[in-house]
Amino acid sequence: MSTTNLKLTSDPIDVPYYKEQNNEVSLFEYAHQHHLPILIKGPTGCGKTRFIEHMAKKLNKPLYTVACHDDLTAADLVGRHLIGADGTYWQDGPLTRAVREGGICYLDEVVEARKDTTVVLHPLADNRRILPLERTGELLEAHPDFMLVVSYNPGYQNLLKGMKPSTKQRFVALRFDYPEKEVEQQILISEANVESHLAFTLVELAQALRRLEQNDLDEVVSTRLLIYAAKMMSSGMDPLEVCKSCLAEPLSDDPETIKALMDIARIYFDES
């Protein structure tokens, strides 16, 4: 039996911190109000998952998060028959549970899932809002509060792993990017509880490293990595050691590239 990376969030207390950038909170609320599915596009670590967690808590809805991968099957999403002490029984998958309960089902990096798996989303992502369960003979009508949300990183797309136009055009789409400097600084201050001058310096360094994307790096420093770095620096770890472990090593395996990244880091965190 294959497994899913599944996380259930249902406690309405303590809404996760999220700093809005481009009216995405209102857009999400309107989409939920009108029973529309949402597609979120954006680079790694820019806040897509945090945004969904924030909105689920804000709307007080159960959240089922599925990390998509090559081995994800339709049964992982919908459910399967299992064998127990009293014989076989049906166990709902995360998508089915969200459909029944009126929760949010969030498929993270949906393009990583197999094409035959994502086909099950089609009748849920249009005006029908139904989920056929072939193995039980049920035809589930989605709860009025059910919402389907998917995300992917456009930078990872290729001919083999891309979202089909027939699937993409079923969604309201939001494009995310790394926050503006002032917003990213505020995120670091709130998430890592650091002083404003450290948040400012880290964001300035990140901006410098991100300018290298077209030349030397396949990926750039994410807001997530900046939060890691801010937390470690605020606890007293040497800033340059943090820069190496949190900002340079995660971006490249090439020693020369890492050295070049650290040369830039020394401009902002001089050992002297």
Q: What is the DSSP letter of 62?
A: -
Give the mean pLDDT of 21-38: 95
Cα-Cα-Cα-Cα dihedral of 246, 157, 149, 80, to 10°? Answer: -100
Which range of residues forms the domain containing residue 243? Answer: 181-268
Question: Domain end: 147, 175, 203, which one?
Answer: 175
If asked whether residues 107 and 78 sit together in one domain, one would say yes
> How large a percentage of the chain has pLDDT more than 70?
91
Q: What is the 3-class SS of 20-33, one letter each residue? A: CCCCHHHHHHHHHH
Task: State whether 185 and 160 are in the same domain.
Answer: no
**Confidence band of 272 (pLDDT split at 50, 70, 90):** very low
The answer on 259 and 235 residing in a single domain is yes
Dump pLDDT digits (tens) for 81-140. Answer: 999 888 899 999 999 999 999 999 999 999 888 877 888 999 999 999 999 998 888 999
Say how many domains are in the chain. Answer: 2
What is the per-residue pLDDT for 3? Answer: 40
With cut-offs at 50, 70 and 90, classify the pLDDT of residue 174: very high
pLDDT in tens, 203-262: 999 999 998 865 667 788 999 999 999 999 999 999 999 999 999 999 989 899 899 999
- CA dihedral sign, ordered 242, 243, 248, 254: negative
Shared-domain flag, residues 59 and 86: yes
Tell me, yes or no, whether 154 and 35 share the same domain.
Answer: yes
pLDDT for the residue 113: 87
* Judgement on whether residues 9 and 111 belong to the same structural domain of the protein: yes
- 147 and 13 in one domain? yes
Token reading at 217? 């790096």
- Please name the residue that has the structure tokens 């990017």: 177
CB atoms within 10 A of CB 155: 13
How many Å apart are CA 187 and CA 190, to the nearest integer? 5
196 and 62 assigned to the same domain: no
Residues 169, 216, single domain; the answer is no
**Strand-pair partners of 66:** 6, 107
Q: Does one domain contain both 165 and 220?
A: no
Pair (170, 238) in one structural domain: no
| Cα maximum dimension of the chain | 70
Same-domain pairing of 78 and 199:
no
